[in-house]
Structure 1
Amino acid sequence: MTVWAGRILMFLATAHLVTTTALSHAHLSAFLQGDLWLPEHGLSDLSPELGAYWLTVGSFGLPLLLLGAVVVSTGRAGRTLPPYLGWGLVAWTLAGSLLLEPTPMILVLIPAGMLIAARRRAGDGTAAAPRVRA
Structure 2
Amino acid sequence: MTTNVLPRRRDVVLAGRITAFLGALHLVLTLAFNLQYLPAWFTGRLWFPANGLNELPPDVGAFWLTIGSFGLPLLLLGLLIGWLGRRDVTPPAFLAWTLGAWGTILALLFEPSPAILLWVPAVMLLVAARRQA
- With normalisation by structure 2, the TM-score equals 0.90
Q: Distance in 1 between matches of 2:112 and 2:25?
A: 16
Superposition CA RMSD, Å: 0.7
Aligned match for 2:93, one of 59, 67, 83: 83
Q: Do the aligned residues in 1 keep the contact of 2:13 with 2:82 (CA within 8 Å)?
A: yes
Q: Do the aligned residues in 1 keep the contact of 2:107 with 2:113 (CA within 8 Å)?
A: yes
Show the counterpart of 2:42: 32
Q: How many residues end up aligned between the 2 structures?
A: 123
Show the counterpart of 1:132: none
Q: Do the aligned residues in 1 keep the contact of 2:27 with 2:66 (CA within 8 Å)?
A: yes
Q: Distance in 1 between matches of 2:52 and 2:106?
A: 23
Counterpart of 2:101, as a letter, is: A
Counterpart of 2:70, as a letter, is: F
Gaps of 5+ in 1: 124-134
Q: State yes or no: 1:92 paired with 2:65.
A: no
* Cα shift at 1:101: 2.0
Moved over 4 A (4+): none
Aligned match for 1:20, one of 19, 30, 48: 30
Counterpart of 2:84, as a letter, is: T
* Cα shift at 1:48: 0.3
Q: Distance in 1 between matches of 2:130 and 2:75?
A: 24
Q: Distance in 2 between matches of 1:84 and 1:99?
A: 22
Gaps of 5+ in 2: 1-10
Show the counterpart of 2:123: 113
Q: Distance in 2 between matches of 1:112 and 1:89?
A: 6
Show the counterpart of 1:42: 52
* Cα shift at 1:31: 0.6
Say which SS state the counterpart of residue 44 (structure 1) adopts.
Answer: coil
Q: Distance in 1 between matches of 2:110 and 2:37?
A: 23
* Cα shift at 1:91: 1.1
Q: State yes or no: 1:53 paired with 2:63.
A: yes
Q: Do the aligned residues in 1 keep the contact of 2:100 with 2:116 (CA within 8 Å)?
A: no
Task: Give the percent of matched residue pairs that are identical in Structure 1 and Structure 2.
Answer: 50
Show the counterpart of 2:7: none
